[in-house]
Structure 1
Amino acid sequence: MLKMKQLFSKVLSPTDIEHRLAVPSEILWAFELDEVDRAADFEVKDIAGKKWQFRCSTRKKDFHPKPVVSKGWRRFVKDKRLQVGDKVVLYKDDVEGDSSFRIKTMKKVFKLFGEDVWLES
């Protein structure tokens, strides 16, 4: 059985929905960025097992890299019918030498005792 390490979880903003997914700099270790292009293409499986091709890239000439997922992201958003306020969770298989990724999408369904309750979508 594979162990999954959660890389990040994010409630989607308008920019995430309309353009590209901003991701935390702290997860750049999970990608093998090309030194020149400052980018890496990677494959992600959703909970249904469908494979998606994404690209993570950073600014080339800036101290703060501001990583984003761009290539393939908008198609994913459209296919999953994601909206502002929905959540994505990205995981990496925690197996030595394995660099496969998984993604989960969630929608907020209601609040219970002041806490948001999410449902996988």
Structure 2
Amino acid sequence: MSFDDFNKDKNKNDIEEKALSHIKKCLSEFNKWCLEKEITLCKSNDEFVTKLKEYKNKNAIRLGFGIGTTYQTLIKLIEENDRELFFKIKKILRLGRYVSIYPKSIEFTAKNESLGWLEWECC
């Protein structure tokens, strides 16, 4: 049975709207989780942390170079939820090889701004 057959009595626009809404919600929750991790890592830089906190209540995503593996992968979620799998991945990919904490660095501009943020407007 196809997705269309299963939903033949429903309006396709409603289905698309619900799917898009769910994706935005998941993305927002993931970004908030990532921001908390980054804020914890950067707690000694008050100006940077203040700017990071501004993104917590926005519809935003981080894209591009210099944003770090926390935003590009699920490695930190895996670390929190399955330590054994995390250490296997870390070993295979040689992540954080010379320091115990991963990631070992965070990039930001000379004005203490995060790289790669893209904000979107909700419909």
Rg (Cα) greater in structure: 2
| Higher percent of residues as strand | 1
Q: The TM-score by the shorter chain falls in which range?
A: under 0.3
| Higher percent of residues as helix | 2
Q: What TM-score do the two structures reach when normalised by structure 1? A: 0.25
